[in-house]
Amino acid sequence: MPRVILVLPLDAYRLDVAFDDGTRGVISLADRLFGPVFEPLRDVAVFERAFVDEFGAICWPTGADLAPDALYERLRSAAEVA
């Protein structure tokens, strides 16, 4: 499975995500920031602290993380539709 190599936080709770196989795209998390793990990311200053960990997952210092395989499939599916 490809690994995330770059994440750039954007406005409106979006992330520009790049994978090591060249797949790249923008993912919106605006409608997914709920529950005890993700609610702290509604604070823009916290959201902007996204980083890629050693396993290729997108993480935040709060402990929230996103599985790279689900993000990859979302980007690939969006690219097939476009």
* pLDDT > 70? residue 81: no
Domain boundaries, the chain: 4-81
**Contact between residue 56 and residue 68 where contact means Cβ atoms under 8 Å apart:** yes
Average pLDDT over residues 51-73: 95
CA 17, CA 72: separation in Å to the nearest integer? 9
* CB-CB contact of 17 with 25 (8 Å): yes
This model's pTM is above 0.95:
no
pLDDT in tens, 20-43: 999 999 999 999 999 999 999 999
Domain 4-81 architecture:
2-Layer Sandwich (3.30)
Q: What is the pLDDT of residue 16?
A: 98
